[in-house]
Amino acid sequence: MSSRLLKPPKTVEKNMAQTFDLIIHNGTLMTPGGRVQTDIGVRNGKIAAIEDLSNHDAAEKIDAKGLHVMPGAIDTQVHFREPGGEHKEDLESGTRAAVMGGITGVFEMPNTNPLTTTRQAMADKITRAHGRAWCNHAFYMGGTAENAADMADLERSPGCCGVKVFMGSSTGNLLVEDDESLRAVLSHGVRRVAVHAEDEPRLIERKKLAEESGDVHSHPVWRDDETAIRATKRLINIVRETGRKAHLLHVTTADEMKLVSDHKDLISVEATPQHLTMSAPECYDRLGSFAQMNPPIRDEQHRLGLWWGLQQGVVDIIGSDHAPHSTEEKQQPYPNSPSGMPGVQTLLPVMLNHVSHGRLTLEHLVDLVATSPARLFGIIGKGRIAMGYDADFTLIDLEQQREITDDWIESKCGWTPFNGESTTGWPVGTIIAGRSVMRDGELLGVADGRPMKFFESENAD
């Protein structure tokens, strides 16, 4: 069957208005049916036509010749920690970094001040984002032993993308370390529960290894592979018992990929560009504590195991785990140095470089950063280039060669672990609801990102 798009029925064609708010000409569209070279017409923030529109008018026209147009990329794990501060990331700076990297939507984690564990905290976040967030946004509801019984109500809050649980201590004050509390959270509600899976008792037991060494090379020794594997096994057992959908964040071990591959009916999987690209000990030799994150970057065997999981379809989503800290904070002696690195702006350049090296196809990347996030989390109107869907697009130049540099980074931290890395493939345009917010590295317009809507939340109508 030809991939050429058919013209609309004459009855539809006759009644269609001849003008659009935006027409994207000559691009190669990444559609559900494959790559199609044609035009997109946008009206009122929605996709209104996918066909040859060379004879139609629009308030704005973009010539996308030589570019690929993919559905807007969504980063489903960021830590902006609003309200931030002079040197702390916030919704404005974090979403500005997102759109500069081709990202049209983000899910922010609940380990903020105050914690996002109530309806009021969720509403306050949405209010603070209004007029400040450059891209679309949603927020996780933090799951704890204290609010577990109310989770079926809390998870339906407008703007809520799902529930987040920390099984192991990380940055912030949320922790669900025991099986009873985890079971309580998973037993109330229906939304997908995103889980940071590290075994807290083992972390406590082994922390002395980090403290005694004072060397960041011991980070993956303290938070070893067994720490992650134990937590993931515990999660699988409780997911099987409760029947609750879970999303296993930032998987770092080859063992977990194999383990979870037998439980894909209930567990989706995230990998990060950092864990897919860097490995120990080289990253710690080169970056020191700037390579420190939780769970840690591990050795080459585990990195290759993550690629096995991605290429076998075990990995559902690529998320950045964007968690920036200032240079001064990261330079503190280990283990007092905080874990986390920026990533929302570099997610697409790093992964597009992997595409250029043949490690995955562009179609696969589109699924990982657009289609799967929309499908797994039930986002309304996102993740596909299709009639009636939101006009969120990421424009990609697969041939453009660039160097990732610290001075390109919009995050307040001002650095990236990929500084100096040469890449092939680059996001050159970010379009949200038919509005261009980034073109060729230039920020455009004003911050007008909107809360995302979900099928299982109260604003689904």
Identify any residues that bridge with 194 across adjacent strands, giving them in sequence order: 164, 247
Contacts of 49 (CB under 8 A, 6+ apart): 16, 20, 39, 40, 41, 56, 387
Has 448 been annotated as catalytic?
A: no
Does the pLDDT of residue 79 top 50, yes or no? yes
Contacts of 323 (CB under 8 A, 6+ apart): 78, 79, 171, 293, 339, 340, 341, 342, 343
Q: What pLDDT score was predicted for residue 5?
A: 57
Q: How far apart are CA 395 and CA 403, in angstroms?
A: 18
> Two tokens at 11?
């009855």
Range(s) within the chain of domains with CATH label 2.30.40.10 = 10-69+389-443
Does the pLDDT of residue 14 top 50, yes or no? no
Range(s) within the chain of domains with CATH label 3.20.20.140 = 73-377
Lowest mean pLDDT among 2-16, 29-43, 61-75, 271-285: 2-16
Contacts of 200 (CB under 8 A, 6+ apart): 167, 168, 169, 175, 177
> Two tokens at 106?
């983000």
The CATH homologous superfamily of the domain defined by 10-69+389-443? Urease, subunit C, domain 1 (2.30.40.10)
What does the pLDDT look like over 134-190, one tens digit per residue?
Answer: 999 999 999 999 999 999 999 999 999 999 999 997 555 689 999 999 999 999 999
DSSP 8-state secondary structure symbol assigned to residue 190:
-
Looking at 75, 199, 225, 321, which residue is catalytic?
Answer: 321
CATH 1.10.3720.10 fits domain 73-377? no
Token look-up 């200032």 returns 326
Q: What angle do CA 321, 251, 152 make, to 5 degrees?
A: 75
Q: State whether the Cα torsion 300-301-302-303 is positive or negative.
A: positive
Q: How far apart are CA 423 and CA 51, in angstroms?
A: 32
**Could you please report the per-residue DSSP string of 373-393?**
HHHHHTBTT-SS--TTSB--E
Q: How, if at all, do strands 73-78 and 103-108 pair?
A: parallel
Lowest mean pLDDT among 87-96, 184-193, 250-259, 265-274: 87-96
CA dihedral 247, 174, 101, 435 (to 10 degrees): 90
> Two tokens at 319?
């998320």
